[in-house]
Amino acid sequence: MGRFNDIGIDSELDWDRITHLFKLGIIAALMVLAGDMILGWGVTDETLTGMDAYFSRYMTVSDTRVFASAILGLIGITIECLSYFGVCGDDVRTG
């Protein structure tokens, strides 16, 4: 444990890399938020019950909006995960 402190973090943090990946993660989170906002909130058909009522709110949403929301979420969540592991997983790569 000469190179690492008691909790497994290298004694010298690469603040430039951490700052860059943190900013990238924030941008990715905003992409996911934009995807959620594109999908929006639907209005449930109160005359239906069960899963039919749950899915009724998305019947009025266009396929383009659903696809755009899915793509933004796919890309955004992937970038968020890579940023997280880039910042927090440093001891795995160098240990």
Could you tell me if residue 62 is inside a domain?
Answer: yes
Q: How many independent structural domains does the chain possess?
A: 1
Give pTM, 2 decimals: 0.68
Could you tell me if residue 5 is inside a domain?
Answer: no
Range of the domain at 74: 24-90
Q: Could you read off the pLDDT of 3-49 as tens digits, one per residue?
A: 555 555 556 667 788 888 889 999 999 999 999 888 877 677 889 88
Could you tell me if residue 73 is inside a domain?
Answer: yes
Could you tell me if residue 35 is inside a domain?
Answer: yes
Could you tell me if residue 1 is inside a domain?
Answer: no
Residue 72, Cβ density class (10 Å: 0-12 exposed, 13-18 middle, ≥19 buried):
buried
The two three-digit tokens of residue 53, written as one number? 């009522």
Q: How far is CA 18 from CA 43, 77, 85, in A?
A: 42, 18, 11
Could you tell me if residue 3 is inside a domain?
Answer: no
Could you tell me if residue 59 is inside a domain?
Answer: yes
